[in-house]
Amino acid sequence: MKKILTVLLIITLSLTLLLTALENNAYNKAYYLNQFEQNNTVEETGKTMEELSIIADDLIDYIKGKGFDPLLVPHFNDKEIAHMRDVQNLFDSGRALKFISGGIALILLIYFGVNEGKRKLGKKLFFGLFANHIVIALLAVIISSNFNKYWTMFHHIFFTNDLWLLDPKTDLMIQMLPEQFFSGMVVRIMLSFFIYLSIIQIAGLYYMKKGREGWKDLRNTRKDI
């Protein structure tokens, strides 16, 4: 039973960290503005940087669930808004999944901390999360080999329509957010995920060492008695 709970802890904790990394990067306006400069978005869209900044604010608020379709009407056509409605639904589902998995992970952390102590909990976190690093490395190799192929595959998996197939000649959204934007975003998400994992693993290593030191102190205390 404990092995099953350990696996569940690693899965839910990993999922929580991944979804947190996704949200933090998707909501990062500085990244949008940086990409607008790098991709010559002003020339591509005919919009000023001030206008693009306002649109970025509205897009971020929309995927955060802070606005509805009227928020996007001044900027995009019907097809683009319909696609963003699907994107918003994905983010809503992601947020719900993050809170559920985070809640389960927290309960299991408390359970193992109380019943097995910091040393064993630290060991579970330090070694258990290493599988994610292998997954990150494999994904990095696979995606970098042909990003467009796997980005298209992603859309076929998560969308049930072809609204995401936008025209760079007529649709502002794809002009603002070309493939380079998303390839860079994926890299940042994986890097953030790696950092979050590493922080938890360092904490796990600390508890492993602290647990051993505590056991040594206990043995020394028994000898003195």
- Please tell me the distance from the alpha carbon of residue 51 to that of residue 47, in angstroms, as a whole number: 6
DSSP type of residue 28: -
Domain count, the chain: 1
Token pair 């809503």 is found at: 92
pLDDT for position 106: 97
Q: If we measure between CA atoms, which residue out of 186, 89, 190 comes closest to residue 132?
A: 190
pLDDT band at 205 (very low <50, low <70, confident <90, very high): very high
Return the number of other C-beta atoms located less than 10 Å from residue 145's C-beta: 9
Residue 217 has pLDDT above 50, yes or no: no
Q: If we measure between CA atoms, which residue out of 66, 70, 56 comes closest to residue 177?
A: 56
- Please tell me the distance from the alpha carbon of residue 121 to that of residue 115, in angstroms, as a whole number: 9
CA dihedral 205, 98, 85, 42 (to 10 degrees): -20
pLDDT for position 219: 47
pLDDT for position 142: 86
Question: What does the pLDDT look like over 76-100, one tens digit per residue?
Answer: 999 999 999 999 999 999 999 999 9
pLDDT for position 2: 86
pLDDT for position 224: 43
CA dihedral 114, 120, 121, 126 (to 10 degrees): 170
Range of the domain at 6: 2-224
At CA 36, angle to CA 33 and CA 41, rounded to 5?
150
Return the number of other C-beta atoms located less than 10 Å from residue 150's C-beta: 15
Region 121-145: what's the mean pLDDT? 92
Region 132-158: what's the mean pLDDT? 92
pLDDT for position 213: 43
Contact 74, 86 (CB under 8 A): no
pLDDT for position 209: 84
Token pair 């092995």 is found at: 3
pLDDT band at 211 (very low <50, low <70, confident <90, very high): low
Region 96-123: what's the mean pLDDT? 94
pLDDT for position 215: 43
pTM of the complete model: 0.90
CA dihedral 23, 29, 32, 36 (to 10 degrees): 180
